[in-house]
Amino acid sequence: TSGTVYLINSGDTPERIEVERLLDNSECIAFEAVPQESWREGLNAPSFDRARNRVTHLIVHHTAGSNRNTNYTQVVRDIYLLHTEVNQWSDIGYNFLVAQDGTIYEGRDPGDDLTEFEVRGAHFCAKNTGVMGIAMLGNFETASPEPEALTSLNKVLAAAAEEFSIQVDTSSNHRGTVLTHIAG
């Protein structure tokens, strides 16, 4: 068999990572996240026309990467380069990323007019309208997520469900397929 190997090196991790508090519209559900401009320091900024997304479904991914790499900012930077340099996408595909230690990273840059919740991502096989993507760092075919990561994932999911009035225990049509409102 043959294939292509990509060696990705996003350079040195920024020394200082900012964290900001994100609130949904009701301000009842809050969490802290590392902004993209902080973890992306020294890398090219995304440049694209953002699209507003009315979210009806929340999609949880795992990155299928290492469960042992604890330099989570470096992992997020490398995913950004994979998406932008290798895949030739305009930005990282996910709206949020959650590290094994529970650190939440803002993903796709929403620009000046949208929020991280509203910007349409690129993570769901060309069916991204109406969905928001959250990626858990690691490979959960070989291990279970850490409790801290699950707690942070629940915070993001709860905030998004509140933001878009999503009934999380039901399902509905998404582009021709019945899909649970939280799917993975």
Q: Which residues contact 176 (CB under 8 A, 6 or more apart)?
A: none
Q: What is the pLDDT of residue 122?
A: 87
Q: What is the pLDDT of residue 13?
A: 64
pLDDT tens track for 116-162: 999 999 888 878 889 999 999 999 998 999 999 999 999 999 999 99
Instruction: Name the token pair of 5.
Output: 């190997």
pLDDT tens track for 66-118: 999 999 999 999 999 999 999 999 999 999 999 999 999 999 999 999 999 99
Cα–Cα distance, 60 to 150 (Å, whole number): 11
Q: What is the pLDDT of residue 178?
A: 93
Helices (H), 27-137: 36-39, 72-81
pTM over 0.95: no
Give the 3-state secondary structure of 41-68: CCCCCCCCCCCECCCCEEEEEECCCCCC
Token pair 């949880």 is at which residue? 60
pLDDT tens track for 101-110: 999 999 999 9
Q: What is the pLDDT of residue 8?
A: 60
